[in-house]
Structure 1
Amino acid sequence: MSSSGSKADPAVLRCQRRCNGDRKNYEALCQMYEKIQPLLENLHRNFIETRNNIAYDIQKLYDKDPLGNVLIDKKKLEKILLLSYVCNTQAEYQQGFHEMVMLFQLMVEHDHETFWLFQFFLQKTEHSCVINIGVGKNLDVLNNLINFLDPMFAEHLKEKGAGAVQSLFPWFCLCFQHAFKSFDDVWRLWEVLLSGKPCRNFQVLVAYSLLQMVRERVLQESMTGDDILLACNNLIDLDADELISAACLVYAELIQKDVSCPDYLFLSHYRISFSEETHETDTLNGQDEGGSSVE
């Protein structure tokens, strides 16, 4: 996945303006962390293990571009991840956070901006990328969505692809970071997720749209679980706008079926008026007024 190296991405700028924290708050947290670090090392049984895991994950990152220019500061990245682990009790460190925070570090200049952007992202997306909070729920809703919209595919997954959907948890843990061809595409999707529109749990519609890309091949070749997972993992270098548009079409289909939509699908809990839906989906798809999409 390539990076444009841009420091003025509109998604980043919008996040920065919304962040509640500032440099002084960040510095206060750093001072607090330095004071309690000895206690954490002696009394917190998971602290040293987590610190070692963070250091190990960071060392595996490529920190230079093809010309040898240093892209990321691994020491600062480790510090931010440790501070987040200590301060954000809802989101313990998990493998993949180092890649997400690396992306924030690439897009902004200062450590406090990187830290607060990560916290803002977790909060705004309702910790949907956190394994012990949102990932399991995402997978459950994804299964329900397949059963509701595509019974034939659901039946195949049940008979021959047992466990395939549950194995797609990295999509949610990394917020689909590995599926795109550039950091700009990652940010395009993340910007939509941060907006909360067209609905909460939009990441599930994105995952469903990705599965639809391999659906025909899976059925034609009667693929089993491992082959389905391999086909899904081979979905790379995608265009974010095309994927967002596909997910919006899924949402439009759900709106059409809303009368019969069962309670276990998230849509029934987040109804919006149709007049608002049309305008907002056109915005997500980059369309002018008069588009035919539903939000």
Structure 2
Amino acid sequence: MTTLSPENSLSAMLSASFILGLHPFVRTEAWKFLTGYYSWQSSQDERLTVNSMRRKNYNALCQMYEKIQPLLENLHRNFIETQNNIAYDLQRLYDKDPLGNVLIDKKRLEKTLLLSYVCNNQAEYQRGFHEMVMLFQIMVEHDHEIFWLFQFFLQKTEHSCVINIGVGKNLDMLNNLITFLDPVFAEHLKGKGAGAVQALFPWFCLCFQRAFKSFDDVWRLWEVLLTGKPCRNFQVLVAYSMLQMVREQALLESMSGDAILLACNKLIDLDADELTSAACMVYAELMQKDVPQPLKNFFL
């Protein structure tokens, strides 16, 4: 009987997560492995120790925040502005399911967002984070889990949804990808569609959250991104696949950039498995070509 090495075993588990998806019953625990909250090779006892450590670290951060909050409010205008932005975003956030049951606790969500802003110098706070963290609050039970899973998700996805880190790179590479794989559409976008691709930044800022018909679909795509399969920066291939959904109409009707953007914004209720499959086909097409070095470095 052949025994898999830890590296091969990890690869097999990630491949299974990518291909088959995660059953809702195991999602909460599986995400702790996918994000790096737990090591794939850890024992149950080790995981109990890690979870205890993460809880203590979270509590220490909360205590630190409580001590410096008055100072931040008095001396840092950006903090007050961020506080107001979070409060405004949460006020508009619909927190109930179709039956009227409350899905989330907005006060807990506000605490997580403010703590993340203070502690994460790279990501800070941007519009849309409240919708992302909401899904973490729905997924897991404890505040420290919500906080750390969000931080690890950002790290694992190379901060690709953060405006001042990954979003600009994604948009530039999406433009490069269109130019390389679809020069006809690229030429149209340079003319009548100028600016359309750059205006698609909400796709990346929200990690495509508004494009899907259910939370399960959002989690499904995010899980694919966390596996790192079939390649790095898979989110750009996802965006390319979505843009291809409006390509034919854009060319036939010689649509302007604003019209293309409007058509893209109407891409809702998508199926995560179908979109992932389409993006994988783009990746397969890419691998059959002599890829320019910038694209090769970005995806491989």
Which band: TM-score by shorter chain? 0.7 to 0.9
2:62 to 30, 34, 45: 30
1:74 to 96, 99, 106: 106
- 1:184-195 aligned within 5 A: 184-195=216-227
Matched residue SS, 1:57: helix
The answer to whether the 8 Å contact 1:11/1:191 transfers is: no
Distance 2:282 2:77 in 1: 45
Name the TM-score, length of structure 1 as normaliser. Answer: 0.86
Displacement of 1:66 in angstroms is 2.6
Q: Which runs of 5+ in 2 are unaligned?
A: 1-21, 39-52
Aligned to 2:16: none
Aligned to 2:89: 57
Matched residue SS, 2:173: helix
Distance 2:298 2:202 in 1: 26
Q: Which amino acid counterpart does residue 261 of structure 1 have in structure 2?
A: V
Distance 1:191 1:29 in 2: 27
Aligned to 2:168: 136
- 1:233-252 aligned within 5 A: 233-252=265-284
Displacement of 1:114 in angstroms is 0.8
Alignment of 1:218 onto 2:234: no
CA-based RMSD: 1.6
Q: Which runs of 5+ in 1 are unaligned?
A: 1-5, 272-295
Matched residue SS, 1:126: coil
Name the TM-score, length of structure 2 as normaliser. Answer: 0.85
Aligned to 1:290: none
Aligned to 1:13: 29
Greater mean deviation of Cα atoms: 185-194 or 19-28:
19-28
Distance 2:249 2:299 in 1: 33
The answer to whether the 8 Å contact 2:233/2:298 transfers is: no
Displacement of 1:168 in angstroms is 0.2
Displacement of 1:11 in angstroms is 4.1
2:159 to 113, 116, 127: 127
The answer to whether the 8 Å contact 2:232/2:298 transfers is: no
**Identity across aligned pairs (percent)?**
80
Change (3 A) 1:269 1:168: closer
